[in-house]
Amino acid sequence: MQIGIMARTFSQPTLSEMLDAIVSHKIYHIQFGFNCVGLPELSDNIDEKLCDDIRNEMIKHGVTMSAVSGTFNMIDPDIGKREAGLRRIEKLASVCERIGTSVITLCTGTRDPNNMWRRHPDNDTESAWIELVDSMGKALKSAEKYKVILGIEPEVSNVIDSSVKARRLIDEFKSPYLKVVMDGANIFHKGELPKMREILDEAFELLGDHVIIAHAKDLDHDGDAGNLPAGKGLLDYGHYVSLLKKLKGDVPVILHGLAESEVGYCVNFLRQKVG
């Protein structure tokens, strides 16, 4: 199990300096975002030379890009925004090989028109599900074209708000290009914290064979996605890590939800849990 970090945790002015800071913590796996090099996370135009420069910096520093962020609201009430997101996902997929990754992480979205991380009651409607399936089908065509894996993350504020729904979507498509980002701090609805182990066990039972990457952060209450640094909240990290260690393959575990000043603490905490 490889410990990594969200690259945007660091605020250095250049990618080279950012990677210097990351490897100073003996971290060699990252989740990248084009906002690290002054672009929007999703863009219609991505310069080929910039992609080559990114790849060269990764090689120079001995860092693996475990995934690149491609989040947009896949069920945005504004169809124009949804279509723009899908167009930009195809552009991102087209440069993945050039920058050195094969995984794009996604947000399945919400009916909230202003915040793709805020829950909306219409997320549970059949129409929301139908539109997610439509968007995902289009995104998967881009993924298949460029041989890129899309990673969806179960998150209580999104339409895929549970491991059960994530498994339903996987079964809907049966695509080798659709996988899961596991984040133990994101899957507890209101009142579910007392059943933490049971819910974590269910998530890994349903999704374990499909996990391509994992996230490591923490939570202080249920009903929302956790946003605390790993080891500073209520998540049973001993159990979470034990489940991660049972996964097939060498799944990278990406720290996020932390300030740069907290990196040392969180890396040490996670390494102690990993053993």
Q: CA–CA separation, 89 vs 41, rounded Å?
A: 10
pLDDT band at 127 (very low <50, low <70, confident <90, very high): very high
pLDDT at 257 over 90: yes
Structural domains counted in the chain: 1
| Per-residue pLDDT tens over the stretch 11-25 | 999 999 999 999 999
Q: What's the gap between Cα 213 and its chain centre?
A: 7
Q: How many CB atoms lie within 10 A of CB 130?
A: 11
pLDDT confidence of residue 38 = 94
Q: CA–CA separation, 38 vs 42, rounded Å?
A: 11
pLDDT confidence of residue 116 = 85
Give me the chain's average pLDDT, please: 96
For residue 123, what are the domain limits? 3-274
**Is the distance from CB of 263 to CB of 18 less than 8 angstroms?**
no
Q: What angle do CA 202, 187, 179 make, to 5 degrees?
A: 70
Average pLDDT of span 176-204: 97
Average pLDDT of span 196-223: 97
Helix H, strand E, coil C: the string for 223-261 is: CCCCCECCCCCCCCHHHHHHHHHCCCCCCCEEECCCCHH
Give Cα separations from 82 to 98, 120, 225 (angstroms): 25, 17, 23
**Is the distance from CB of 82 to CB of 75 less than 8 angstroms?**
yes
Average pLDDT of span 178-199: 97
pLDDT confidence of residue 1 = 83
pLDDT band at 231 (very low <50, low <70, confident <90, very high): very high
Q: Tell me, what CATH number does 228's domain have?
A: 3.20.20.150
Tell me the percentage of the chain whose pLDDT exceeds 90.
96
The pTM for the full model equals: 0.96
pLDDT confidence of residue 6 = 98
